[in-house]
Structure 1
Amino acid sequence: MTTLAANQRRLGAEIGGVAVLHTWGQALTHHPHIHCVVPGAGLSPDGTRWIASRPNFFLAVKPLARLFGRLFLKRLIAAFNARALRFFGDLAPLAELDAFAGRIKAMQLVNWVVYAKRPFGGPAQVLAYLGRYTHRVAIANSRFVALDEDHTKVAFTWKDYRQTARQRS
């Protein structure tokens, strides 16, 4: 975002923001994604004025998705080469160079997704949004629907956002 926002053709400003990393989705499956809150404006390169974006538009999502994917993979490769990554469970084979390189190659073909919401109404809405993502447990008690006698199997509800009905697992 900072790279695109700094471009004079886009915003021409230095921006800041807050990001929260999630590694799971509603059904508790592996689904890494980031939630960001960014002001729709920034400081001019010389730091003397505030540059606001156009109403209802901040940064184009397609260039942002392409740039994010490219930079993410570049830094992931650097971390692998520096031996700064650890792989566990089903991902353990990725510790081997050939397996890692194959996964990177596959990820280079993926269309990375960026979703941008409309601007918040004000500070209260920003805090409510961040609170939902930073101050809750992975699964709330209200979603549990069954527990077996040995307490080894749990059923809970989850929302499949491709459908409208709640699912049960």
Structure 2
Amino acid sequence: MNFKILADILLISSRDTIFELSLSPKRIGAKPGIIAAFHSWQKNLEPHPHTHCLISGGGLNERGEWVTTKGMFLFPYQAARALFRGKMNDALKKALEKDRLILPSDMRSQQFINLLNKLGRKKWNVKIFKKYRHGSGVATYLARYLRGGPIANTRIKQITESHVVFNYGREEEKLLSLPLEEFIRRILTHVPPPKAVLVRSYGLYAQAKKKNLNIARQTLGQGRVELPRKILWQDAVKKSDPSKTSCPTCGKALILTQTIEPFNRESRMNSPPGTHGMIICGSH
């Protein structure tokens, strides 16, 4: 029930922590680019909200000059952990004050504040990786991780009438058997609400900062940003089954003639069953 507001707080707190540390003269004194992705699961499908942040190896300072990061790490682990913890706690308290959080029925507001204060004295988990040589490889890895969702089909080892068995190990196989109802419950826990933006771009990578990004790319000897070519459905289908792009009757190429709008409350009573979001195609 708090999925969207907690995702917002986690993403924004991560962004602000990175910017504050990066802009400090003790660090690089410049604003980098960030691609941040929110994840809500761990390997056993239990809730584990966290963000993955890909950060450029430098940024633009106030004079519009590119500044490269110093050393193999962007900033110290201890500094990031303490600053992030403070920003998260402060944001959660403000959300509570504005009635944006829904607390459990048996928890009072003061109990929630006491819990935050207690957690604020603990050590939080912030992991900072070394600088990568190939940023495109890291971005590709994250993209595949996002597309896969909470669990990949290859991790499911057995399905019976009552249970689902899947692998939740990382380097070695560890099997977990869950009742069907529990497996479905855990999956549904990670379904984001409508219009929740869980992958965001900040700093140099923000949509409104393409000019700054091109300045940085020029400094590094790279070309201007080019928008990726729009992939047609025919191109996507050809990779899996080229025969599906042609009419099975006449053999001519299929073309898009109509798109049925996806399901919504207003169209619930008027839409024929099984047609929501379908693409209707016809041959020349």
TM-score by length of 2: 0.52
Measure, in 2, the Cα distance between the counterparts of 1:9 and 1:35: 24
Residue 57 of structure 2 is aligned to residue 40 of structure 1: yes
* Map of 2:174 onto structure 1: 167
Q: Which runs of 5+ in 2 are unaligned?
A: 1-17, 177-284
1:153 aligns with 2:163: yes
Give 1:54's aligned residue: 70
Q: Deviations over 1:59-108 (max 9, x none)?
A: 11110110000011100110111111234xxx5544x2133123212211
Aligned-pair CA distance for 1:12: 1.0
Q: Highest Rg: 1 or 2?
A: 2
Count of equivalent residues: 159
Cα shift at 1:21: 1.1
Give the Cα–Cα distance (whole angstroms) in 2 for the partners of residues 146 and 34 of structure 1. Answer: 30
AA aligned to 2:80 is: L
1:30 corresponds to 2:42: no
Native 8 Å contact 1:10 1:59 kept in 2: yes
Which of 129, 133, 144 pairs up with 1:121? 133
Separation in structure 2 between the aligned mates of residue 140 and residue 93 of structure 1, nearest angstrom:
36
1:79 to 72, 86, 95: 95
Distance 1:93 1:35, change over 3 A: farther
Q: Against the structure 1 CA distance between its residues 119 and 4, is the aligned structure 2 distance closer, same or farther, given a 3 Å change threshold?
A: same
In 1, Cα distance between equivalents of 2:105 and 2:75: 37
Amino acid at match of 2:124: W
Greater relative CO (CA pairs within 8 A, separation 6+): 2
Identify the residue that residue 19 of structure 2 maps to in structure 1. 2
Structure 1: state its 5+ residue gaps.
Answer: none
Please, which moves more after superposition, 97-106 or 35-44? Answer: 97-106
What is the Cα-based RMSD across aligned positions, in Å?
1.8
Which 4+ runs in 1 deviate beyond 6 A?
none
State the distance in 1 between where 2:168 and 2:70 align.
37
Indicate whether 1:21 and 2:41 are aligned: no
Provide the TM-score with structure 1 as the length reference: 0.84
- CA distance in 2 between counterparts of 1:86 and 1:93 reads 11
